[in-house]
Amino acid sequence: MKKSLPLPSLARPLALVGVALFFALKEPSFLGARNLTQLFIEFSIVGTLALGMFLIILTGNIDLSVGSGVGLIGGLAAVLITQHDFPAALGLTVALGAALGLWTLMGALIVRQHIPSFIITLGGLLIFKGLFWLVIQNSTVNVARGDEDNLYSLLTTYYLPHTVGLGLAIAGTAAAALLAWRGRAARLAAGLPGPTLLRTLGAPLAGGLLLVAVAVVCNRFRGVPLPLLILGVVTLAVFYLSRHTPFGRHLYAIGGNEDAARLSGIEVEKVLIGAFALMGVAVAVTGFMLTAYSGASTTTVGELMELDAIAACVIGGTALRGGRGSVWGVLFGALIMTALLNGMTLIAVAPELKFIARGAVLAVAVWLDVRFSAAGR
């Protein structure tokens, strides 16, 4: 039996460094505080959607409807707030409820009617795109009434005070370290082998230093943007859910072998519906941030974002067959995709070349996933 040949641990960091160096040489402002802060906002948007996609792909399924869904839910909130005088909080809540209902319904259709997720979500892509255009009437709908800011418009225009940003970076480090410590303690208490203390705390502490560095860079512009805080909350929630709850372990088990998961007593249908419901929440949050970042809901909001989310997962080491992947890998993949898109925009790459680059990255990522999966069998 061949030994598994995992993607070398340095491949993703080297790819990110290579992308950053290329664009920094082409345009020095790429590494400026202003552009990096905007890049972190874009990263937060892509990363949030990718983390939702991660939960779906872990089970061996896929969701092609999320890009259209991002536009639909963001547009629905914008219409409710600016055209129907809903308070911003209520408009966002109603749109979130709509996303939760739609994705729960898709999950139920997939598991109870035994229809492949590819087909149902492909249909969802077209339906949601049509509904999106109907909701906004093929026009541009601003996220604020005139010059009046509201909670919706502030999602991507509010920056944390400098001391708060640094404090949250430290708090996030402590939370990640605590989760890692609890995971190790649980394994040892169950009589299972656990990682060394250095390995347990090394990654959270390294991540903490990175968070502090990000806060310092953002503080050189306006401060840590609110979307980065939202991504941090989503990341901790998904990490805890996937690594420290029975639900998360069931996701991995279903992706590894669905039949074996059923035989072991896992309620596969409930878990899969739950995963799609959480995808709906991720779509809503992403839709709110992306629409707010754009300043208005237009027919192009969310276009092809499903491919960026899938590419981020696969680049990050999540197996398309399911059963393998990590939150941190997904974030790294999202950061690589975001840096690529941000850099191409900064140096004014033609739109057609952007499409080619995104497609090439996705194709290479899937090829690597297939290659390493085959080598591990």
Q: Is 193 inside any structural domain?
A: no
Which of 155-164, 177-186, 322-331 is predicted least confidently?
177-186
Phi, psi for residue 110 in degrees, rounded to 5: -65, -45
Q: Is 205 inside any structural domain?
A: no
| Environment class of 317 (CB within 10 Å of its CB; exposed 0-12, middle 13-18, buried 19+) | buried
Confidence of residue 362 (pLDDT cuts 50, 70, 90): confident
* Predicted pLDDT of residue 90: 95
- What is the longest distance spanned by two Cα atoms in the chain? 66
Confidence of residue 6 (pLDDT cuts 50, 70, 90): very low
Q: Could you tell me what percent of the chain has a pLDDT over 70?
A: 95
Q: 296 to each of 78, 119, 129, 146, how far by Cα in Å?
A: 8, 31, 17, 12
* Predicted pLDDT of residue 7: 47
Reported as a single tens digit per residue, the pLDDT across 200-253 is 777 778 878 888 899 999 999 999 999 999 999 999 899 989 988 999 999 999
Confidence of residue 146 (pLDDT cuts 50, 70, 90): low
CA 230 to chain CA mean position, Å: 11
Mark 160-177 as b/e (b = at least 16 C-beta within 10 Å): bebeebbebbeebbebbb
| Cα(222)–Cα(211) distance, integer angstroms | 16
Q: 14 to each of 6, 216, 269, how far by Cα in Å?
A: 16, 23, 40
**CATH code of the domain containing 319:** 1.10.3470
* Predicted pLDDT of residue 376: 55
Give residue 40's identity as a one-letter amino acid code: F
Residue entry with tokens 């991660």: 54
Strand partners, 9: none
Question: Would you say residue 149 has pLDDT above 90?
Answer: no
Q: Is 135 inside any structural domain?
A: yes
Helix (H) or strand (E) holding 296: strand 296-297
Tell me the residue range of the domain where 40 lies.
Answer: 11-158+225-376
3-state SS class at 189: helix
| Cα(224)–Cα(313) distance, integer angstroms | 25
Q: Is 247 inside any structural domain?
A: yes
Q: Is 303 inside any structural domain?
A: yes
Could you tell me the two tokens for 265? 């007593």
Give the CA count within 13 Å in the CB-facing half-sphere of 241: 18
Q: Is 248 inside any structural domain?
A: yes
Which of 67-71, 133-137, 142-146, 305-309 is predicted least confidently?
142-146
Count, residues in the chain: 377
CA 72 to chain CA mean position, Å: 17
Reported as a single tens digit per residue, the pLDDT across 89-111 is 999 999 999 999 999 999 999 99
> Are the beta carbons of 72 and 135 closer than 8 angstroms?
yes
| Cα(148)–Cα(360) distance, integer angstroms | 42
Select, from the ranges 2-6, 182-186, 306-310, 366-370, the one with the highest average predicted confidence (pLDDT). Answer: 306-310
Q: Is 327 inside any structural domain?
A: yes
Among the listed residues 108, 106, 132, 111, the one whose alpha carbon sits nearest the alpha carbon of residue 121:
106
Mark 250-265 as b/e (b = at least 16 C-beta within 10 Å): bbbbbbbebeebeeee
Pairing of strands 296-297, 141-142: antiparallel
> Are the beta carbons of 296 and 69 closer than 8 angstroms?
no
Q: Is 1 inside any structural domain?
A: no
| Cα(110)–Cα(102) distance, integer angstroms | 12
Question: Would you say residue 8 has pLDDT above 60?
Answer: no
Give residue 82's identity as a one-letter amino acid code: T
Among the listed residues 263, 240, 264, 186, the one whose alpha carbon sits nearest the alpha carbon of residue 55:
240
Question: What is the number of structural domains in the chain?
Answer: 1
Strand partners, 263: none
* Predicted pLDDT of residue 251: 95
More confident residue, 26 or 4: 26
DSSP state of 350: -
